[in-house]
Amino acid sequence: MSCFYEQGLKFSCQGCRTCCGVDPGFVFLSENDIMKMADGLSMGREKFIDTYCRYVDMGNMKMISLKEKKNYDCIFLTEKGCAVYQYRPVQCATYPFWSHILESPQTWKEEGNSCPGINRGEFHSKEDIENALATRLSNNPVVIL
């Protein structure tokens, strides 16, 4: 089955930081994300959660998300960029190669309205894109019933 990104897509972060702040949102964390970030910050799991995370009530379950600052920026966003870039969560590392953004040429184009890196810079092959999709889909967020 053919997809619109069969020939690959271009994307390079332009440093606008829109995906890291501006609007409220969630960065849901998997157990692997939590442990990688806690280790990277040389702290234990519980201390990391208590310091940098919040529980989000999704109705029938709770999930763990990174906290936001009052202006909706990610807790780790600084003037110099992401303070935890080398061990950032999978959700962040795989952007913009998320299933809802890759549904169609139109959804890809719409994402480009807020992200100036869409269709610019580095070429990502279909294989690269599908690897990012698979990584994101297999990185199950922590769910608390």
Q: What is the pLDDT along the chain (145 residues), one digit of tens a residue?
A: 579 999 999 999 998 888 898 788 899 999 999 999 999 999 999 999 999 999 999 999 999 999 999 999 999 999 988 999 999 999 999 999 999 999 999 999 999 999 999 999 999 999 999 999 999 999 999 998 7
Whether residue 1 is contained in a domain is answered as: no
Q: Give CA–CA dist 32/97, Å, rounded.
A: 20
- Is residue 2 in some structural domain? no
Verify cis geometry, omega within 30 degrees of 0, for the bond prior to 96.
yes
Exposure of 52 by Cβ count < 10 A (0-12 exposed, 13-18 middle, 19+ buried)?
A: buried
Both structure tokens of 109: 């184009």
Q: Which two tokens stand for residue 43?
A: 């702290």
In a domain, 106, yes or no: yes
The answer as to whether 43 is a domain residue is yes
Q: Tell which phi-psi region holds residue 24, choosing left (phi > 0), alpha (psi between -120 and 50) or beta.
A: beta
Q: How many domains does the chain have?
A: 1
pTM recorded for the entire structure: 0.90
* Residue 4 domain flag: no
Give the residue numbers spanning the domain of 138: 9-144
